[in-house]
Chain A
Amino acid sequence: MAAKSTPATTPTIVVVGHGMVGQRFLEALAERGVTERARVVVLCEEPRPAYDRVRLTSYFSGNTPDDLSMVEDGFMAEHGIELHLDDPAETIDTTTRTVTSRAGLSLTYDTLVMATGSYPFVPPVPGKDAEGCFVYRTIEDLLAIEEYAKTARVGAVVGGGLLGLEAAGALKGLGLQTHVVEFAPRLMPVQVDEGGGAALLRTIENMGLSVHTGVGTQEVLAGESGAVNGMALSDGSKLATDLVVFSAGVRPRDQLAREAGLAVGERGGIIVDEQCRTSDPAVFAIGECALASDGRVYGLVAPGYEMAEAVADVIDGGTRSFTGADTSTKLKLLGVDVASFGDAHGAADGCLDVVYSDSRAGVYKKLVVDGEGTLLGGILVGDAESYGTLRALTGSVPPVSPEQLVLPAGAGAPAALGPSALPDEAVICSCHNVTKGTIRGAVTEHSCTTVPEVKKCTKAGTGCGSCVKVLGQLVNAELEASGVEVDKGLCGCFGQTRQELYEIVRALRITSYQQLLDSHGREAARGGNGCEICKPTVGSIIASLAPSIGASGYVLEGEQAALQDTNDHFLANLQKNGSYSIVPRIPGGEITPEKLIVIGEVARDFGLYTKITGGQRIDLFGARVDQLPQIWARLVDAGFESGHAYGKALRTVKSCVGQTWCRYGVQDSVRMAIDLELRYRGLRSPHKLKSAVSGCQRECAEAQSKDFGVIATANGWNLYVGGNGGATPRHADLLAQDLSDAELVRLIDRFLMFYIRTADRLERTSTWLERIEGGLDHVRDVVVHDSLGICAELESLMADHVAGYRDEWAETLNDPERLLRFVSFVNAPDTPDPTVKFVPERDQVKPDLPLLSIRSLEETLEGAAR
């Protein structure tokens, strides 16, 4: 097929490879208006347009391939760019300046840009092609791994570098028992030194991954079916595994260039000059496939972006160049912060190290300075909080001594150095090379007032995202400095934060939402109906404080009824077809056969779908609103109570069987779980609260994934706080050790009340702990050492709650007035809603949804904020 005929005046630019750098190059061309003057054709080997490879792994935490796309809707059409998907370039003829694609397209170019990236290196070991061997580079790789993992139990990753650990995290996330095999004597040999590797190793092993360092993979073993069943290692041992992911480094994809006669480096990479021009002046190479003029191949995206900008500028008649880049990185690997910047390994002559290391906490920090005190680089493992600031200070003498920069807060470190201490030239976003001055300019000159606006204007924060926190601080500081008030208000009705509203309600003993809105709401909102954000929030605050401020503890009393989200309003969880689910409380997950039978009978009599939940209790689905009182009458009769599955309140305290039965148990975890569940049941809070108690360190109750988790020790209990499952899992932090029963309960009382007092709306303890100034140390100071002198008050608030608790369902059933709301139709109380229908599925029922379509998952998740 011949190329489209183009007028001689319109030059043609052909781009080979549509990865991250290729796309960035197209954007840079469009920004400069080059796309209006030239025909741009892109050959893309993958079946989809460029996507965010850096965040590839987030596919496993719910990001769809579409979420990862880097191409804005309509971008290609708007700029008249021709993109050919699934059609790689096969040959290049530099004399006739033609590129031929696999589909037979023949393109004559004036300028050719190679952006072919790299390929994963697979060591040439026998068996490497067996079924069950994968690499980790593209979305297609991930889809294949995900599919294969369904039938696998154990997975092994070859390579303990950055990508290897990311792959290992993904395998673990897929439920595989995971091994990492690294040839070097430590993990992440490129980024961290021995000390950092040791801190990382400890933390990663604590997460349940098995790490084998200092051993090579000799052979991949396969069974008769040809599928992987193990690996032979260089120390003579064998590792049984069902799946192998090779992540032993990447190599530049220079084959096509090599065949076209372009010069390539001895160890690979298309040789380019400072303007990224190859040995043929009409051909450029950018990104991971290029061997830059400083003799390096960059495996990071930021230098690739700089090359893309340089080439676009050169094509546009400019003189920008690329002479080398910073390889600083900050990553969260399996939840551990790892960062390295500047001269991390101390390669400069006469440089000195300042090291802080706490292997118990898995923290390692090293700064490299020269004789004059100039900061040259560093490594941070386990706590990379100061990365943004330190990286930006690199090359200058920091305003405080280096040892103060590595000491943890509370151990003699000065107040953390904020971004305000940085000079304007400091690079804040290294992915896009954006300085502090540019960010300030976005606020002062381009009148951006929010982080998203600044991101759009400067591109800062749109790469790996590690600078977004510092970005936010800078934007707020700049706004405040220029006199703009930063609106931290809860919603359109209230200018206060949730914490401020809590304090107002508590101090003024305000028990009515309307009174609060009319006296403290924004001017325009006073006298109005409020909104769906502040109503439940204030309802929750009033409910948390009810006994202390003299409000009714019953959430459906008077005005309070109008504030509750729909679930609280019907004391049940709304399902997609308008029916409800019912979750009776089963404290600690312990239940008698009699009670189990009652649940079974109720479910059978009302035709409810039953399911064991992830919280050690039983959910009954498919009740019509008018059936709720009848169902609960039977349940209350049998001694059940509301499980508050509908409320932002305590959900469950999971337990393991513990000392009573288990041969390893060292305390009675079931009793403790029941005690805690009964103590905190009904407690309304900013978000739901979950807990668990394990009888020993084996942790069968998964306490470390809970808002407050308890693990038995020989001497008592360890208390962990701030754990979370969900979309952004977080392991809980140890708050205190070896507590007696009474000490444990007292500490949890204080912790929960302090959280309820200071958290934002819908902020789980995990995000709260990360947000609150001073973090865990501050919370420990407040609740353990009573640094604010409020513990007595926190305890008495909890005592009021415990004394005031009554079961919401029993109260509702006892009052005919309250039961009136449980009808499908106000004018036809005996008519069930005919649109709530069910069809059979696996011996039970499911909603019949011919008319229904839940629009988008994204919205559903947000909507789940009930």
Chain B
Amino acid sequence: MTATTLAPATTEVLIQLRPADEWLAVCPLSRLTPGRGVAALLPDGRQVALFLDRDGVPYAIDNRDPFTGAQVLARGLVGSAAGRPFVASPLLKQRFDLSTGRCLDDESVAVTAYEVRAA
């Protein structure tokens, strides 16, 4: 395991992100509720929205809602469209594909999607 922060001494499964080259441990998997998200702060000040779908697969995209500029995507509801998981922004309800960050309601808009794993 190459996690760099705070890895507790337990064998707990951790959610890890790869914003750049290194994997970064963010929080225990148990902090995530399937179907909901949480926000995480990256060392460089960026914010990431982390989600679990109902099968326990983690996803990570930028937390900033490009339509309003507010850092709120982590607080949206998770759903499936054509078999792919998305989050609906809590402000104006646009949907974003969780694995690619593409906005499903406006082709010209996308947010960053991050590599993420539970290990």
Contact = CB atoms under 8 A, between A and B. Distances in A.
Interface in B34-72: 34-36, 38-41, 45, 47, 50, 53-54, 67-72
Contacts of B93: 532, 859, 862-863
Interface stretch (A360-368, A557-565, A723-731): A557-565
A831 B91 contact: no
B88 A529 contact: no
A535 B72 contact: no
A529 B92 contact: no
Nearest to B87: A532
A834 interface: yes
Interface in B88-115: 88, 90-93, 95
A519 B5 CA distance: 43
B69 A566 contact: no
A826 B39 contact: yes
A811 to B, nearest CB: 17
9 contacts: A492-B81, A559-B35, A563-B35, A576-B68, A821-B38, A825-B38, A825-B41, A826-B38, A836-B71
A630 interface: no
Contact of A853 (B27, B47, B68, B88): B68
A834 B39 CA distance: 13
Contacts of B92: 854-855, 859-860, 863
Contact of B79 (A531, A574, A851): A531
Interface in A791-835: 820-821, 824-828, 831, 833-835
A827 B34 CA distance: 18
A514 B69 contact: no
A562 B40 CA distance: 18
Given A562-B33, A563-B35, A827-B26, A851 B77 contact: no
Given A574-B91, A826-B26, A535 B77 contact: yes
Given A574-B91, A863-B92, A530 B80 contact: yes
A569 interface: yes
A570 interface: yes
Nearest to A536: B77
A831 B42 CA distance: 12
Contact of A578 (B35, B38, B72): B72
Contact of B80 (A529, A820, A852, A863): A529
B35 A562 contact: yes
Given A535-B77, A574-B91, A859-B92, A852 B40 contact: no
A862 B88 CA distance: 13
Interface of A: 492-493, 514, 524-525, 528-532, 535-536, 559, 561-563, 565-567, 569-570, 574, 576-578, 820-821, 824-828, 831, 833-836, 849, 851-855, 859-860, 862-863
Contacts of A562: 33-36, 78
A529 B51 CA distance: 12
Nearest to A539: B77
Given A529-B53, A854-B92, A831 B41 contact: yes
Given A528-B80, A828-B40, A833-B39, 18 more contacts: A492-B81, A514-B54, A528-B83, A529-B78, A531-B79, A532-B93, A532-B95, A562-B33, A562-B36, A574-B72, A825-B38, A826-B38, A833-B47, A834-B45, A835-B70, A852-B68, A862-B93, A863-B91
Interface of B: 5-6, 26-27, 31, 33-36, 38-41, 45, 47, 50, 53-54, 67-72, 75-81, 83, 85, 88, 90-93, 95
Contacts of A531: 77, 79-81, 88
Given A826-B26, A827-B41, A566 B70 contact: no
A574 B36 contact: no
Q: Is the interface of A mostly helix, strand, loop or mixed?
A: loop
Nearest to B35: A562
Contacts of B34: 562
Nearest to B28: A826
Contact of A535 (B31, B50, B79): B79
A848 to B, nearest CB: 11
Nearest to B78: A529
B68 A855 contact: yes
A569 B36 contact: yes
B35 A825 contact: no
Nearest to B32: A826
A344 B99 CA distance: 64
Contact of B47 (A565, A576, A821, A825): A825
A43 to B, nearest CB: 38
A567 B90 CA distance: 8
Contacts of A849: 69
**Which one of B54, B68, B70, B90 has the highest number of Cβ atoms from chain A below 10 Å of its Cβ?**
B70
A836 B36 CA distance: 21
Contacts of B5: 827
Contacts of A569: 36, 75
Contact of B90 (A530, A565, A825): A565
Contacts of A561: 33, 36
Contacts of B80: 525, 528-531
Nearest to B77: A532
A853 B91 CA distance: 12
A79 B51 CA distance: 50
**Which one of B5, B27, B40, B75 has the highest number of Cβ atoms from chain A below 10 Å of its Cβ?**
B75
A828 B63 CA distance: 15
Contacts of A853: 68-69
Given A562-B35, A863-B92, A530 B68 contact: no
Given A576-B70, A576-B91, A529 B75 contact: no
3 nearest A-B pairs in the assembled complex, by CB-CB distance: A562-B35, A531-B79, A528-B80
A825 B81 contact: no
A714 B109 CA distance: 62
A826 B40 contact: yes
A827 B3 CA distance: 14
B79 A532 contact: yes
Contacts of B68: 576, 852-855
A183 B47 CA distance: 69
A522 B118 CA distance: 31
**Which one of A531, A535, A831 has the highest number of Cβ atoms from chain B below 10 Å of its Cβ?**
A531
B83 A565 contact: no
A566 B91 CA distance: 9
A37 to B, nearest CB: 38
Contact of B40 (A528, A827, A860): A827
B27 A826 contact: yes
B31 to A, nearest CB: 6
Contacts of A514: 54
Given A492-B81, A530-B80, A532-B93, A566 B75 contact: yes
A565 B38 CA distance: 14
A833 B91 contact: no
A838 to B, nearest CB: 14
Contact of B67 (A492, A559, A566, A855): A855
A528 B70 CA distance: 28
B55 to A, nearest CB: 9
Contacts of B67: 855
B9 to A, nearest CB: 17
B63 to A, nearest CB: 9
A207 B27 CA distance: 60
A574 B68 CA distance: 13
Nearest to A833: B71
Contacts of B85: 529
Contacts of B76: 532, 566
A834 B83 CA distance: 35
Contacts of B83: 524, 528
Nearest to A531: B79
Contacts of A563: 35, 77
A569 B37 CA distance: 11
Contacts of B40: 825-828
**Which one of B36, B54, B77 has the highest number of Cβ atoms from chain A below 10 Å of its Cβ?**
B77
A462 to B, nearest CB: 26
Nearest to B85: A529
Contacts of B38: 821, 825-826
